[in-house]
Structure 1
Amino acid sequence: MTAMDDRPVAPAEAALLIHEIEGHLLVESARTESRAAAARFTARLDWLSRAEREEVERAYAEDHLALTHRTWRHTAHRCRELRTEYETRYRALRNRLLAGCLLGLAFLTALALVLAGV
């Protein structure tokens, strides 16, 4: 991958740039969704004046976006917790497997020595 000025871009830099772009697209999508949800909500409130409707839409969209943000943070936090939990379990299982293999190897070595001494 190369930059706009034909300089090569390191894979790590490219991945970071792609993640940033994805993040911006995700945030913009959430904003659009929040505005659409606000518009659907205020469409049912036909007794509001135009100014009142715009204010309710703004407040609703703001609250909706804040809720989305909190949900993302909660999900990210839970993902980190689960990752830590699974990594801990994986290490424990790997250590048990290694201990079992070493014990089996020791047993086979001892058995070979006993049989060779016969």
Structure 2
Amino acid sequence: MIRGRVRRSHADHASALAAEAEGYLLLRSHYDDARREAGELCAEMPWLTTAQAEDLAHHYCERRMLLARHMLRVTVQRADQLCQEYEIRYQELRRALLKRHAASASAVMACAAGVGAAVGVLTR
């Protein structure tokens, strides 16, 4: 039992680490895109001084990262909501299936008892 818990703990830790790395890489990709877009925007404004262009690029990237984080939070919240909805629906379907199987098993047992009684009466 302890080994199973240790393995599960390592698997959970590895999964959390992988999710964290994936999140970092995703945000880094958004940041790189924002820097590229900020550079393109500043290139279209040749009248900006170097300091102004850097300031504009900094603010643009900051806003883009806030937007990306917000969108990711909304996506995670929606995924959690869908997961809960699917779990509720799964439980409902599972209960309905169990009821049907219980009813079917009861019907089969009733039929078997009826046949057994009929055979017992006929063999007397």
TM-score where L is the length of structure 2: 0.79
Counterpart of 1:10 in 2: which secondary structure? helix
Query: Deviating runs (4+, > 4 A) in structure 1?
Result: none
Higher helix fraction: Structure 1 or Structure 2? 2
TM-score where L is the length of structure 1: 0.83
Unaligned runs of 5+ in 1: 1-8
Partner of 1:54: 54
The whole-number CA distance in structure 2 between the counterparts of 1:23 and 1:68 is 11
Unaligned runs of 5+ in 2: 1-8, 119-124
Q: Deviations over 1:57-116 (max 9, x none)?
A: 111111111111100000000000000000100110011001100001101111111121
Partner of 2:121: none
2:52 counterpart of 1:17: no
Percent identity over the alignment? 30
Partner of 1:77: 77
Alignment: residue pair count: 110
Q: Higher relative contact order by CA 8 Å / sep ≥ 6: 1 or 2?
A: 2
Q: Which structure would you say has the larger Rg?
A: 2
